[in-house]
Every structure is written in C-alpha cells, then in structure tokens.
Amino acid sequence: MRRNRNVKIVATLGPASSDYKMIRALHEAGADVFRLNMSHGSHEEIAERHGIIRQIEADVGSPIAILADLQGPKLRVGTFANGSEELEDGAKFRLDLDDAPGDATRVQLPHPEIFEVMEPGNALLVNDGKIRLKVLECGPDYANCEVIAGGEISNNKGVNVPDVVLPLAALSEKDRTDLEFVLQLGVDWLALSFVQRAEDVQEARALAGGRAAIMSKIEKPAAVEKFEEILAASDGIMVARGDLGVELPVQNVPPIQKRLVRKCRAAAKPVIVATQMLESMIESPMPTRAEVSDVSGAIYEGADAIMLSAESAAGHYPVEAVTTMNNVAVEVENDPTYREVIEASRNVKRSTVADGIVAAAREIAEATHIKAICCYTQSGATALLVARERPWVPILALSSQRGTARRLALTWGTNCVMAGELERFKMAVVTAARAARSGGYAGPEDQIVVTAGVPFNMTGTTNILRVAPCDERLIFADDPE
C-alpha cells in the first residue's frame, strides 16, 4: 500500500483496536507498524492481534511490521492501610522494606536494590513525578525523605529514581517469558524498556538469537548519558519522552530528542519519536494545535517514525488519530522548508563502497528525472543506507527475506517489495523495473536507479549501480546476455 509520505506511523493496539475491521481501518488510514504493548493484555489477546495483522498483511499484499514492547521492571511502593494518604510539602516520609501497610509517615518500597545505591540528596519521584521526595538519610533497608512536592499517594504507585544507575537488569522474569512468546509468534521488532547501558541490549540480543531486531527505548537519564554505546548495540531507537520527561526537567527533553534523532540518522538506524503526540485525541476527535506542532517537529527533524500510544489503543477516536497524523505528515513533507531542513541536517560520514554507491544513487536521482531508487537487500543494511541519504524520490527495497521486508516497514521512505532470489544482475534490473511500474512509481518511459551486490544473496556486498529504463525491452536490448 503506497503512502504519500516518507515518515512512518506506529499505532499501538489495545481494547479500542483489537478486531480485524478496526486494525485494517488503522492500516488503511496510515498505520505502517503495529505495536503490541506487553504491559497490557494476556498472551491469548496478543496472539490474536498478531494473527489479525498477518491476515491483513496477506490481504493487502504488502509487508507490515509488528513491534512488541516489553514492559521492563516496574518499581512501585507498597500498599496503605487506608488505600491512600495525603503528603504535605515539607513533611518527613520514610520508605523501607517493612511490608506492613503504610500511613502518612511511611510505606514499603519492596526493592532492596534501590536502597543499595541510594545516597543523601537523591530524588525519588512517585506517580509519574507528581510527588517528589528528597533523601535526607538512608541505609540498606530504609530512606528517610523530605516531601518536596506533596499530593495524594496511593497503593502500588510507580517510583522513578533519576539520579542513580540502578543495579537492575532491563529484562524481568515477565519480560523473558514475554520475549520468548512473541518471538515464537514471529514479531519483527522487540522494544526494550528500562535500558540503562549497552549490556542491557546485548542481553536481549542474545536471547532473541536473530529472530527479531532490537529497539532500545531511551527513557532514563542513564540511557542518555550512555547513548553512543546503546545506539551501537541496537538496531533502532525509541525516544520515549514520557518517562524521560518524568526523570528529567521537561525543558531538557526537546533538545535531547533532536540530538538523539540526528545521531540515529547518522548511524543509519531507525528512530521512533513516541509518547503523548496526540494525547488529547484519546477523548477528542480533534487534536490541540500544540500537539500538531509537536508531531510536525518530529517530522522536520527527520525521524523515521512517529507513534500513537493510548490514542489508538484505548481512545475513542483511533482511526481519526491515525488519519490526523497521516495528514500532518503529508502537509509537512510538501512544505519546501521541510526539504531545506532535511538537506541542512544531512550529516553522513562515508567510508565504504556501499556508502558511496547509495550517495551516488541519491545524487543521480535528484539531478535527473529518475523516478525511484531500487535497492536489493538481504539484511536490510543497503536500504537503511539509502534511507539515511533522505532522497527526494521513492525508495523501493526488494528482498527475498520476508523478515527483512517487514522490519524495513519502520524505516523512513522505504517501500518494501518481496522478490525472489536472483543470480544475475540483469534480472535484478528487470524485477526492479516491474516493481516500479506495478507500484505506480514509474511508467514504461521512465528511468530508475538500481543498486545491488554481486555475488547475489549475500549480506554486505552492495557494489553495483545502474541507471535503467523501466521498459524491459530496452533492458534486454542494452544487455543481450
């Protein structure tokens, strides 16, 4: 299904979007990738949604990416005798390991690993930062705190610890079970929560065993500090601004987002901007002007994808939310300023033959009347390099690997086409020409650029570029062999 835009849209599935009719409507409205949130829903529900997506994929005849988002370890306070308490600014409050019901002076924090690294002066944030505590003194089983920002605290509210790197693995036991389950289903991407270091990504990669690409969610200050190492270990990045905005001052998030997006682009790795993009559309059929500007900003930055969470999973207007995001993307990408911004932010260090081939493909396409860049790719690496160039003509990624085609559905500007294994470059050109014509990217009188690697069906061998006609008779006339 051809889109009139380059940025991709990720839609989260949930109670509001769980049957064939609704999920197909979301895809037709513009959703290129579906996110399965492992924090919600049983394995049976997740399997059912996965099956529906694959059925829609077969019905529409184009690859759809599925992203399984693992929950990660959840840090929560214990329970209160009265269910909740009101904490006053300036009051003293204690967190400890005692499982007795809490009151207005204390509550259990059943995570000894937090106390292990706690120091006086550290901040503790409860209920998405609505309650802020400052540690005055602490030990291996307690932390005496001052309430900096008070409010109602109730049973099992979440806790954030922004000032320290916690000695916790990114994968809980639930995550390990969920990981194996979704990999057996056949998801294309795994999103990791609570990433703090590159070792967290490497652990997940070892468990995945090549069955899915690994996406690291950047939602903690420690991940921002270690971003270069995390990026190198990951296949993609999600800028998860929700938790990031809790653990950091909110004014820090926009510049961090811009830096991370640029670094991902330079590394030729897809990046999603996520969280609260059209939050008001959970309840309203119309977004706020600020939300539209936020979505536009991510597109102008050159993000590969923008994501809907509760808007499509639990909102009243899931199709309208996807439609709005699609319309904003089309309008932004038709703005002459968008092209100027993208070209000004193109920061590519080229050091390989493949880098040179894809750069030449973009320059030839933009300097002439080439209609599309067609690249053969087994692992997806060549298509990622072409997308990094952000060309102004469509990218057709042809692959014999269905998993590769599905993963590339997340990548900027990439239109994925299944193609059989090839042994000769001439047939690669013919197949590319047929794909360009059948997809409406070019007519018989037009030309395309074709890149491939010889020998075929091997990873990392991109070494040929050809400008070719879309008329097969001319291809065979030019190359009678």
> Which active-site residues does the annotation give?
35, 76, 217, 275
Nearest to 263 by CA among 296, 220, 230, 300: 230
> How crowded is residue 276: how many other Cβ atoms within 10 Å of its Cβ?
16
Token output for 43: 């394995």
For the chain, helix, strand, coil in percent to 5 are 40, 25, 35
User: Going by DSSP bridges, is the β-strand pair 462-469/447-453 parallel, antiparallel, or unpaired?
Assistant: antiparallel
Question: In which order are the strands placed within the sheet that holds 106-108?
Answer: 106-108, 92-96, 142-149, 131-139, 123-126, 159-160
Q: Where are the beta strands (DSSP E) in 83-162?
A: 84-87, 92-96, 106-108, 123-126, 131-139, 142-149, 151-154, 159-160
Tracing tokens 């009678």 back to the chain, one arrives at 480
Q: Contact at 8 Å (CB) between 78 and 97?
A: no
Residues in CB range of 253: below 8 A, 6 or more apart: 241, 244, 245
Residues in CB range of 191: below 8 A, 6 or more apart: 35, 67, 68, 69, 70, 215, 216, 217, 238
Entry field: residues in the chain = 481
Let me know how many helices (H) and strands (E) the chain has, helices first.
18, 21
For residues 472 and 475, what is the distance between their CA atoms, to the nearest angstrom?
5
How big is the CA angle at 90 (ends 86 and 94), to the nearest 5 degrees?
Answer: 65
For residues 188 and 56, what is the distance between their CA atoms, to the nearest angstrom?
16
